[in-house]
Amino acid sequence: MSRVNEIDLTLSLSPEASLERVTKAQRRLTHLRLFTAGLLGSDRPGPGLIVLFEGFDASGKGGAIRRLTASLDPRHVHVVPVGPPTALEGSHHFLWRFQETIPATGQMTVYDRSWYGRLLAERVEGGVDRDGAQRSGEEIVEFERMLSNDGVTIVKFWLHISSDEQLARFQDRAQNPVKRWKLTDDDWRNREKRALYEASLVDMVDWTDHPHAHWDLIAAENKHYARAVILETLIGRWEKDLTRRGFALPESRGDDYLH
């Protein structure tokens, strides 16, 4: 059975418990970011960091990214929203358009969607067949292995919600003038193809889950749970990779130091 089918969507947290865990995690993320930038405890920059978000429409990627970046200096994180390839980008190899935003030593890039669009939207829309998608998956694995070997830490999140929860969030957006801009005709059209996306998702995880860039599948039915667990998972994977690369992890410090 695929790991996708084992995601427990009943997991939840209260808003109060989530806020407490998110706040604690944000403090630690600030320390780690300053440390890897060579600004805290060492003048030796750490590895570049990629944090990559994929998920169904309305699964909460934007909210998770806002909480990830909220405590960081804007100069220390680069958020890249990824849409369909332009005509120029589509005329190159599908990974070509991402080269410029790959983080250098001591830098950090957060991708709101990513090169995995090749295995999801492009496959579902007929831009690539299953064999072509599988070949692309193999190329992605090699691409990520190359980045890891070159000194980049890669953390990948898939945010999972049920069809019913997605519909409820779509309806909320449609009725809320402040959120209405988030809902597009493409979102409704993609929803009609959910079965195809689910099949492509299973293949994507099976093909591209590997030791140097593991997929963390997040139960995002409850946003409060997802936001806390994403930050805590990122910290765990980041610290593990820093230790693997021979870095002595910094101790966390109090609020006065951060503010």
Kindly state the average pLDDT of the residues 174-203. Answer: 94
Query: What mean pLDDT is reported for the chain?
Result: 94
pLDDT level of residue 254 (50, 70, 90 thresholds) = low
Kindly state the average pLDDT of the residues 88-100. Answer: 97
Q: What is the structure's pLDDT at 111?
A: 98
Distance (Å, whole) CA 238 – CA 244:
10
Please report, to the nearest 10 degrees, the dihedral formed by the alpha carbons of residues 223, 227, 232, 238 taken in order.
130
Kindly state the average pLDDT of the residues 215-219. Answer: 98
pLDDT digits (tens, 9 = 90+) for 25-48: 999 999 999 999 999 887 789 999
pLDDT digits (tens, 9 = 90+) for 128-182: 999 999 999 999 999 999 999 999 999 999 999 999 999 999 999 999 999 999 9
pLDDT at position 255 over 60? no
Helix (H, G, I), strand (E, B) or coil at 159: strand
Please state the CATH superfamily assignment of the domain spanning residues 3-252 in this structure.
Answer: P-loop containing nucleotide triphosphate hydrolases (3.40.50.300)
pLDDT level of residue 253 (50, 70, 90 thresholds) = low
Q: What is the pTM of this model?
A: 0.94
Q: Name residues whose C-beta falls within 8 Å of residue 14's C-beta, 6 or more positions apart in sequence.
A: 224
Roughly how many angstroms between the first and final C-alpha of the chain, as a whole number?
47
Q: What is the structure's pLDDT at 259?
A: 38
pLDDT at position 256 over 70? no
Q: What is the structure's pLDDT at 42?
A: 76
Q: What is the structure's pLDDT at 44?
A: 87
Kindly state the average pLDDT of the residues 227-234. Answer: 98
Distance (Å, whole) CA 49 – CA 153:
5
Domain coordinates in residue numbering, the chain: 3-252
Share of the chain above pLDDT 70, in %: 97
Share of the chain above pLDDT 90, in %: 92
pLDDT level of residue 258 (50, 70, 90 thresholds) = very low
% helix / strand / coil in the chain, to the nearest 5? 55, 15, 35
